[in-house]
Structure 1
Amino acid sequence: MSTNVVLKNMDEILAFEQTPLQDRNLPRTTYEALQKGAAIDPGAPALSFFLSAAAMRTPYTLTHGQLLARITQTANALRRMGLGRDNVAAYILPNMPETHFAIWGGSAAGGILAINPLMEADQMADLLKGAGVKILITLEQTPGVDIWEKASAAAKDVPSLEHILLVNFTAYMKGEGVWRDAMPLPPVSATIEGRDDISLTRLLDEIAGENASGLDFEGPGPNDTSTMLCTGGTTGLPKIVRRTHFGEVYNSWCPSLYVGAENVGPGTAALCGLPLFHTNAMLVTGLLPWMHGGHVVLASPSGYRGDGVIAGFWDMVEHYGISSYSGVPTIYGALLQVPHKDKDLSSLRFGACGAAPMPVELFNTFVNETGVKIIEAYGMTEGVLASSMNPIITDNPRIGSIGMRFPYQDMKIAILDDNDEFLRWADVDEAGVIFITGPNVFDGYLIESQNRGIWLEQDGKRWFNTGDLARCDAEGYFWMTGRKKELIIRGGHNIDPKIVEEAMHKHPAVAMAAVIGRPDAKVGEVPVMYYQKSTGVDVDLADLAAFAQEHVSERAAVPKDFISLDALPVTAVGKIHKVTLNMLEIERTIRELAGWHAAEIGSLEVVQDSSRGIVAKLSLNSGEDAMRHALGQFTFTVDM
């Protein structure tokens, strides 16, 4: 399975593809991948976990053999409880070892649905009902955490639900220097209102007596559903993406071809700080190192949001010999504020960055101050993990590029007409919509009606329309130019503007609303709302803000500003032209920065470039150095 190669250019990728994928001897399923990784050295550390940064030097650790045993026991228990190949279990959990037991044990026995514990109860209920969930794994009632309150409220409205398996932090609470693995717990007292038909037991109790040496049933096949993840924004009901076992194996193998298997294998440690309902945390800091024999450090139940995790990050790197980690740009910005000069960072091979573009200034500053290589990539849940990536070794780093496509997966730029119909494939450096096809691409959303318009039949292949805009240069590197699907990315979290707009249209003074992302140096983008007032109705900003607070369910999606226009810009067919609004926001940002830095603008024009997307053309009469530094904190393109 291990391939000691680093693909550095398109010629090497094409040469690599001369060997058929089926001859690469990859595991067929995620369970087989875990078995092969554990066989490298069953006694080597596989997973270390601690409840808080203060406890990071005394972790709870499982070896590869022990981790595989727990996953196997979980799979056997779930099958015994009725989870068949066509059934679905779900988990609503923070980052814990049990979360991985649920993911990989659940996918071995049936399908496993990941649900964001920050969702509201009604959203959780809709997802549980939509997937027909039979078994739910969630956190027991815990002081200061509201997961049980929301999960239990959601569970009572799910007719398919038969069992709830509870998880708690007791095993990880230290007493007198020892782990409290065997600490007796009181009987489960939790109940679900009006649902006597749902059994409630503890996960660790259910798996304790199960066979740990192998599956007691016929294991999954490569095309069977493994995990089911949600996508499409943190507001409203996300789409449920079904991923196959081989798709996850393939896509967890591909990054090793760009960073080197030796950087993710035995003797290396990956730090997981992103949430385990997200594909990056699950695979880049999970299956990827485990299938190569590596070690994963699970940094607190809340990951990077955990108390002291960012402040103690460099200590963790030094203590565990961390080799790699994943983060969004805001994490990199926060880490720069933490002193690191006296820490030994020699173990770090690379940091991965995705979910949102990395500002050039932040990229350069981080690399120069820490010496850590940043590997930028592009992907989406529908493509399992990633579709393109930059190589770790290059004499000419393409800062801002999302890299070259993965081998055996094709990725092209298409030119579409005004009705989103395919016209042709784009020329070199011509901007268009990214389409992908290959072994990692999902089979479709769980709800069939959501699959309309997402596929393109072309060149004898079925291509997925990502909705993202990019161009591809002559050397095969892709460069993002925008997002056709209009998602706002705030600190790595997706916000669907349509859900916010629907809520705000209920206000009597709002005739038409358009929510877009305002450039923000700290979190990438924040939502703002442009609106057209209803005739004869007046409103002040405080009223709109209060209405948004009440009617927009996701806090991060509440607009930070409300801008009234006499008429919103529209296309020839009457659709709101959000690109125009994006251009207005970029101009506003530049003028505001100039005021802050006492820079005098000579000329400023924001235009739509055919190959680069939105470009701000700026000349300055004074303050150029300060403005270059300030603008480097943002991801929009500026010609100075």
Structure 2
Amino acid sequence: MSTAASNSSCIQHRMESTTSPFELLARTAQQLPTRTALEFLPGDLEGAPLEVTYRQLLQEVQRIASALKATGIREDESVAILLPFVPQAVSVLIAASAVAVAFPVNLLLSAEAMRAQLSIARCRVVVTLGPHPALDVHARVVRAVESMPVAPTIIEVPLAGPAHNWEAFLGASTSAFEQPVDPGRVGALVHTGGTTGHPKLARLSLRNMAVAAVMASAGLGIEPSDRLLTGLPLFHVGGAIDGLMAALSVGATVVFPTPLGMRNPAVVQRLWEIVSRYGITVLGVVPTSLAAIRDTPVGTSELAGLRAIMTGGSPLSEDLSQHIQALTGKPVYQLYGMTESSGIATAQSTTGRRAAHAAGLPVPGVEISLGQAGAEYRPGAKGEVLIRGPNVFQGYLTDQGVVGDPRGGWLSSGDLGEVASNGELRIIGRSKDVIIRSGHNIDPQLIEDVAHRHAGVVQAAAVAMPDDYAGEVPVLFVVARSTAEFCLSELAGFMAQQIAEPPARPKGIFVLDELPLTPFGKVARYRLRQLAVERKVAELLADLVEAPAVTCRDPAARRVEIGTREPLTDSLIEDIVRRLRRLDLEMERPGTTI
């Protein structure tokens, strides 16, 4: 048997035999009990990191699982987890999935948004931190639960000081815990959708999570010797599965850069020093974080041990990818997936060799078709990306019940793709209108619903505007009831107050006499995306070209024409092209005179 066939058989066996995150951890702990599983860097980046071995992590998970069982929680009830990068964030996540439903929650949510999600998730226990000088999570959690009909129990984890009931909670632990036996039951809920309104919680089974971890580790080529530095939050599948669980599945070490992760300015400023100091071999960050560190100098930091930078979750411009590779001398690899596919579908293997600007090959166990379910995956194929495999979720939990369950069939991604000549998938657009800001899915209709509640708005439509930091951001186009009485700043304040999650608040609001329509009377969103691109590019070039006339006629809103009063010089064209690349845009032609 060839080595490739042997590896394929081994991966298939791992996927079939690993039924839950707990079992995944238990197997690794049995094989590598003294290997370091987790390292938590101190907030000041000066002291020694806290190290947790696989044996210690398993013991802590068992203890917490037993303590959760002692609360009387049922398998169909959830444990909400609102923690930064602390040891308990990992152990509670795995323990909660073993005895009930793990529900990692975005720390930035307002109290109102938390309450809506906790209610739908049938939350019985909330694990969070006590009052903290830099994180105001605790106060929002208390406000969220106090008005719920049946308030969940709040368990506080000590971080900046003592927590009043953590030790008492652990004291209820017994040795009666048994690992989960039904791999098909829901083990986690992950929020997707983005704003206030009606939350959608993706239902991931125990098997979904376990098999996706094996798929991700195989597709990305994560090795037991790897030390993975990840700033990916654990309330996203990218952080919880593609990063954490994938590494745990092979016995690698996961390093968390302080409790605040990549939101810590000191981590951004000293990232390459951290990589060098802690012997990091793989760096996992979203494109937003890559944009934040694009100007962080490597200096004297030794990066010889770093073999790969991996990213995913939102569009990565080729310009940013090339910039980071030039800065570090290390290849940037991409993966593609979504919450509904447990975070993984395709990936580029972190071999240490330079890779194409694409999303990689289908990972083991995943079927991908383009345009039509069951269509052959081959070079030249184009269309909507369809995904099938044991990693595909079990529908959304909403206030109307469970909806959208593919029941083992094909998952429609809403993304448009094409297969390159080397077999790698390239994402070239979206058939759906979801806005993806830094890996955060934002439903435009929910933004529009808020705008329509404002007395001065007659019509509203939200679309994505390209952004060199976040990939894209939401902007809002409105038709005012009376332009004479309309106040743009007042509407902006209204939107900020009504939309629970900061990433979903429009970064710009533009007033039109009327919204563009299709021949069928529907809002022509493609035209609004073109208008958003025109405004962004005009702003981008304002210091370079006097009153540029920017026109976007491209249906995909990726190419623009630049008109100027005077002919453009070659050097000016090069500068314009360079700036456009940061937004993943192209110039339609060298420029026209107006």
Question: TM-score of the superposition, structure 1-length normalised?
Answer: 0.83
Aligned residue for 1:52, secondary structure, equals: coil
Q: Output the CA distance in 2 between the equivalents of 1:629 and 1:281.
A: 32
Q: Note the C-alpha offset of 1:614.
A: 3.6
Q: Is the 8 A contact 2:187 2:204 kept in 1?
A: yes
Tell me whether 1:165 sits opposite 2:155 in the alignment. yes
Tell me whether 1:94 sits opposite 2:41 in the alignment. no
Map 1:497-516 to 2 at 5 A. Answer: 497-516=444-463
Aligned residue for 1:330, secondary structure, equals: helix
Aligned residue in 1 for 2:276: 318
Q: Is the 8 A contact 1:408 1:438 kept in 2?
A: yes
Tell me whether 1:446 sits opposite 2:397 in the alignment. yes
Q: Which of 208, 216, 223 is the aligned partner of 1:247?
A: 208
Aligned residue in 1 for 2:20: 29
Tell me whether 1:233 sits opposite 2:233 in the alignment. no
Q: Note the C-alpha offset of 1:430.
A: 6.0
Aligned residue in 1 for 2:443: 496
Distance 1:508 1:274, change over 3 A: same
Tell me whether 1:125 sits opposite 2:115 in the alignment. yes
Map 1:32-181 to 2 at 5 A. Answer: 32-55=23-46, 57-169=47-159
Q: Is the 8 A contact 1:53 1:307 kept in 2?
A: no
Q: Is the 8 A contact 2:381 2:419 kept in 1?
A: yes
Question: TM-score of the superposition, structure 2-length normalised?
Answer: 0.89
Q: Provide structure 1 residue ranges, at least 5 long, that are not aligned to the other structure.
A: 6-11, 172-184, 189-200, 416-421
Q: Output the CA distance in 1 between the equivalents of 2:262 and 2:485.
A: 43
Distance 1:97 1:427, change over 3 A: closer
Q: Note the C-alpha offset of 1:550.
A: 3.5
Tell me whether 1:433 sits opposite 2:433 in the alignment. no
Q: Output the CA distance in 1 between the equivalents of 2:267 and 2:279.
A: 16
Q: Which of 330, 341, 362 is the aligned partner of 1:405?
A: 362
Counterpart AA for 2:384? V
Q: Note the C-alpha offset of 1:442.
A: 0.6
Aligned residue in 1 for 2:501: 554
Aligned residue in 2 for 1:481: 428
Distance 1:278 1:536, change over 3 A: closer
Give CA-to-partner distance per residue, 1:79-116, whole Å, 9 cap, x none: 12212333322212222111112101111112111111
Q: Output the CA distance in 2 between the equivalents of 1:97 and 1:48.
A: 9
Between 1:435-444 and 1:545-554, the stretch displaced more is 545-554
Q: Note the C-alpha offset of 1:626.
A: 0.8
Map 1:517-532 to 2 at 5 A. Answer: 517-532=464-479
Map 1:142-541 to 2 at 5 A. Answer: 142-169=132-159, 188=164, 201-202=165-166, 204-208=167-171, 210=173, 216-217=177-178, 219-262=180-223, 265=224, 267-393=225-351, 397-399=355-357, 401-414=358-371, 429=380, 431-447=382-398, 449=400, 455=406, 462-473=409-420, 475-534=422-481, 538-541=485-488
Q: Is the 8 A contact 1:583 1:606 kept in 2?
A: yes
Q: Is the 8 A contact 1:90 1:137 kept in 2?
A: yes
Q: Output the CA distance in 1 between the equivalents of 2:34 and 2:239.
A: 24
Q: Note the C-alpha offset of 1:506.
A: 2.2
Give CA-to-partner distance per residue, 1:293-322, whole Å, 9 cap, x none: 111112222211124111121122112111
Q: Output the CA distance in 1 between the equivalents of 2:508 and 2:118.
A: 34
Q: Note the C-alpha offset of 1:68.
A: 1.0
Q: Output the CA distance in 2 between the equivalents of 1:292 and 1:448.
A: 38
Distance 1:589 1:73, change over 3 A: same
Between 1:233-242 and 1:307-316, the stretch displaced more is 233-242
Aligned residue in 1 for 2:544: 597
Q: Note the C-alpha offset of 1:347.
A: 1.7
Q: Is the 8 A contact 1:52 1:308 kept in 2?
A: no
Aligned residue for 1:582, secondary structure, equals: helix
Q: Output the CA distance in 2 between the equivalents of 1:252 and 1:169.
A: 29
Q: Output the CA distance in 1 between the equivalents of 2:349 and 2:483.
A: 58
Q: Output the CA distance in 2 between the equivalents of 1:86 and 1:451.
A: 13
Between 1:21-30 and 1:367-376, the stretch displaced more is 21-30
Give CA-to-partner distance per residue, 1:192-242, whole Å, 9 cap, x none: xxxxxxxxx32x443257457xx6335333222222111111444431111
Aligned residue for 1:446, secondary structure, equals: strand
Q: Is the 8 A contact 1:258 1:389 kept in 2?
A: yes
Distance 1:464 1:607, change over 3 A: same
Q: Note the C-alpha offset of 1:366.
A: 0.8
Distance 1:317 1:154, change over 3 A: same
Distance 1:236 1:51, change over 3 A: farther
Between 1:594-603 and 1:105-114, the stretch displaced more is 594-603
Give CA-to-partner distance per residue, 1:510-549, whole Å, 9 cap, x none: 2111111222222222322212222676414333333333
Q: CA RMSD in A?
A: 3.1
Q: Output the CA distance in 1 between the equivalents of 2:292 and 2:554.
A: 32
Aligned residue for 1:479, secondary structure, equals: strand
Distance 1:39 1:629, change over 3 A: same
Q: Output the CA distance in 2 between the equivalents of 1:132 and 1:33.
A: 26
Q: Note the C-alpha offset of 1:639.
A: 4.9
Q: Is the 8 A contact 1:509 1:537 kept in 2?
A: no
Q: Is the 8 A contact 2:538 2:549 kept in 1?
A: no
Aligned residue in 2 for 1:625: 574
Counterpart AA for 1:549? A
Between 1:96-105 and 1:585-594, the stretch displaced more is 585-594
Q: Note the C-alpha offset of 1:431.
A: 4.7
Q: Output the CA distance in 2 between the equivalents of 1:441 and 1:73.
A: 30
Q: Output the CA distance in 1 between the equivalents of 2:242 and 2:343.
A: 8
Q: Output the CA distance in 2 between the equivalents of 1:122 and 1:561.
A: 24
Aligned residue for 1:436, secondary structure, equals: strand
Q: Output the CA distance in 2 between the equivalents of 1:76 and 1:566.
A: 61
Distance 1:205 1:269, change over 3 A: farther
Q: Provide structure 2 residue ranges, at least 5 long, that are not aligned to the other structure.
A: 590-594
Q: Is the 8 A contact 2:396 2:403 kept in 1?
A: no
Identity %: 26
